[in-house]
Structure 1
Amino acid sequence: MFVPILDDAPVRRIKRPWVTYGFIAACTLIYVLFQSGWVAPERGWAVVSFGLIPSVLFGDAVLPAGYAFVPAWTTLGTSLFLHGGFVHLAGNMLFLWVFGDNVEDDLGHLRYVIFLLLCGVGAGLAHAASAANVDAPLVGASGVVSGVVAAYVMLHPQVKVWVLLFYRVPLRLRAFWIIGAWGVFQAGNALLSGATDIAWWAHVGGFVTGAVLVIALKRPDVRLFDRDLRARIQRRGERPAQGPA
């Protein structure tokens, strides 16, 4: 649908978004070392052992001997660091790169770690409860990214974001319109697409979890819906730009 490139929101409270950088680095390193086949033979068992399998999570099935390296409930976390391919990884990490730094800035490092993990748990549970194929493993940080995107639009709906619409047309639009359209697209597919390889309900679960958590975990001095931005504009006697773009 679209690819985010960069946004206009500065980071004001932290020097660097170290948690965002760390998450991107961990996902990339795990993919390169264990899934890509570039460094060592691809380890397909990793997806089975550390991916989220609904039937195993709920105790209706068990993994074959030699695959159960961690308790089933921990796959709500381990599955977030594995991906289904390079495009899957690159797309998730790009969204996190563009939107994650500002959410980390507005929550603080520690609360942002908690936020990311809980968004992943919410996404995993939503998928597990709705999966058509309960024996297929779920991997990827898409649910985490969905939570970050939801938090971003709750915090900064008026910020303008450069995107590539349909992966080729550059546009600069307010986050409200971009993420709003993205959210409708995710929910529509979750409701209408039926059985598919894409875990649409994980996206929806992560989005809803992120929207709720940002209210509780944001810094006390951070105001939702760009009210900080409006206050700064009023103090400087500036007028906000008009129109959706």
Structure 2
Amino acid sequence: MFPIRDHNPSERTPFVTYALIAINVVIFLGQITLPEEELSQFLYTWGFVPGRVMEGYGFETIFTSMFLHSGFMHIAGNMLYLWIFGDNLEDELGHFGFLGFYIASGVAAALAQALPDPYSGIPMVGASGAIAGVLGGYLLLFPKARIDVLFIFIIIFKVFPLPAWIVLGAWFGLQLLNSASQLDAGVAYLAHAGGFVAGFVFILPKWLREGGPAFWRRTHGHPPHPEARYDFVRSGVPTVKRRR
């Protein structure tokens, strides 16, 4: 189950969202040209290593780690989420406001991951923490925005439109569950959860300035512009009946 699009395209061009996606993709394409040993060293050098920062150096890696990814599925998932949810938040915050929000969420996510083990020597890479902040901010501003979710079960493929509070609430709950159960120690679930909470908190002043619950009543929990309508077109391939 994963989101594929929302029903609320932004009113103005989200230049920062596009630029962040482009930068991440270009860096990843550069990464995959490196031999395996050089790639490992590259990720260690520019990834966020809590123990290194605790020793007083490598602070720049809190920022650089947001633009590195460990594999194709890692970057594809992150960029999909940024593509879906980033434009509406950029619409509300403005280009520079959104960029600052994104970076601040990424920093908070890195610190959340480091908190339980500040002297860890394992590098953390990925835009997931910063994008989790985008999800947290989106949830507060647009809880009823419709998100198309692709459900896959063996051979069943089905798209369901669901409100953002269900999609993002389930995502956040999954991060907490996986973090507590430690199903995959190679995934920074605490960074995801920390970034999500940070994004929610960072967007709170904006929500309050807009009137808090009054903002939801004005917008009905959706981005404050017309919703897009998507029609699922039936296949033009003729149906052939089985002969008896």
Residue 6 (1) aligns with residue 2 (2): no
Assess, with a 3 A threshold, how the Cα gap between structure 1 residues 229 and 218 changes in structure 2: closer, same or farther: closer
Distance of 2:55 and 2:152 partners within structure 1: 41
**Contact residue 144 and residue 221 of structure 2 kept, 8 A:** no
Most deviating of 167-176 and 223-232: 223-232
User: What's the offset of the Cα at 1:221?
Assistant: 4.7
* Equivalent in the alignment of 2:197: 208
Counterpart selection for 2:32 from 30, 36, 43: 36
Q: What amino acid maps onto 1:57 in structure 2?
A: V
SS at match of 1:173: strand
Distance of 2:137 and 2:221 partners within structure 1: 20
* Equivalent in the alignment of 1:50: 46
Residue 76 (1) aligns with residue 68 (2): no
**Contact residue 115 and residue 217 of structure 1 kept, 8 A:** no
Across the two proteins, how many residue pairs are aligned to each other? 216
Unaligned regions of 5+ residues in structure 1, if any?
61-70, 233-245
Counterpart selection for 1:142 from 128, 147, 167: 128
Q: What amino acid maps onto 1:127 in structure 2?
A: Q
- After TM superposition, the score normalised by the length of structure 2 is 0.81
**1:89-238 to 2 correspondences below 5 Å:** 89-131=75-117, 134-166=120-152, 168-193=157-182, 196-217=185-206, 220-221=209-210, 226-230=216-220
Larger CA Rg, structure 1 vs 2:
2
Distance of 2:60 and 2:94 partners within structure 1: 25
* Equivalent in the alignment of 1:19: 16
**Contact residue 80 and residue 140 of structure 1 kept, 8 A:** yes
**Contact residue 47 and residue 124 of structure 2 kept, 8 A:** yes
- After TM superposition, the score normalised by the length of structure 1 is 0.80
SS at match of 2:59: helix
User: What's the offset of the Cα at 1:190?
Assistant: 1.4
Assess, with a 3 A threshold, how the Cα gap between structure 1 residues 222 and 103 changes in structure 2: closer, same or farther: farther
Deviations 1:36-87 (A, max 9, x none): 12xx546412201110011101118xxxxxxxxxx51111110000001010
Distance of 1:109 and 1:88 partners within structure 2: 25
**How big is the alpha-carbon RMSD for the aligned residues of Structure 1 and Structure 2?**
2.4
Distance of 2:76 and 2:128 partners within structure 1: 11
Assess, with a 3 A threshold, how the Cα gap between structure 1 residues 106 and 223 changes in structure 2: closer, same or farther: farther
* Runs of 4 or more above 4 Å deviation: 217-225
User: What's the offset of the Cα at 1:222?
Assistant: 7.8
What fraction of aligned residue pairs are identical, expressed as a percent?
37
**Contact residue 157 and residue 176 of structure 1 kept, 8 A:** yes
